Amino acid sequence: MTIKEAQNTVNEWINTHGVRYFNELTNMAILTEEVGEVARIISRRYGEQSEKESDKNKDLGDEMADVLFVLICLANQTGIDLSESFKKNIDKKTQRDHTRHKENEKLK
């Protein structure tokens, strides 16, 4: 699925199952909550915190997909073409960081 297809799929889902988009501020709060759920799994599964028994069955991929869904909602309702924005962002990073990371002694 392309990013554009994902944006269309989310829009169709919202219009079919969700009645309407939540407002942007509500979606921003939901996005923050979903990112927190990803952070919780990563900090406990891959970091130094112990993982609670109740967290061991949590699906990291599913939580990341929740983040992506809400991010796409925000893009759709603010008129952002994520495909184009992502392409521009990669181009910017490529130009700006062409040798930066290769020359970083901390990464060697």
Q: Is the dihedral of CA 41, 9, 71, 94 positive or negative?
A: positive
The Cα–Cα gap between 57 and 45 comes to: 11
Query: Is the residue at 34 inside a domain?
Result: yes
* 11-61: pLDDT as tens digits: 999 999 998 999 999 999 999 999 999 999 999 999 999 988 888 899 999
Query: Is the residue at 96 inside a domain?
Result: no
Look at the block and give the residue holding tokens 């996005």: 31
Q: Which two tokens stand for residue 37?
A: 């759920």
Query: Is the residue at 55 inside a domain?
Result: yes
What DSSP element (H or E) covers 12? helix 3-17
Give yes or no for a contact between 42 and 60, defined as CB atoms under 8 angstroms apart: yes
Question: What residue numbers bound the domain in which 67 lies?
Answer: 3-81
* 73-96: pLDDT as tens digits: 999 999 999 999 999 999 999 999
Give yes or no for a contact between 76 and 95, defined as CB atoms under 8 angstroms apart: no
The amino acid at 40: R
In CATH, what number is assigned to the domain containing residue 14?
1.10.287.1080
Tell me how many domains the chain contains: 1
The Cα–Cα gap between 87 and 92 comes to: 9
Query: Is the residue at 92 inside a domain?
Result: no
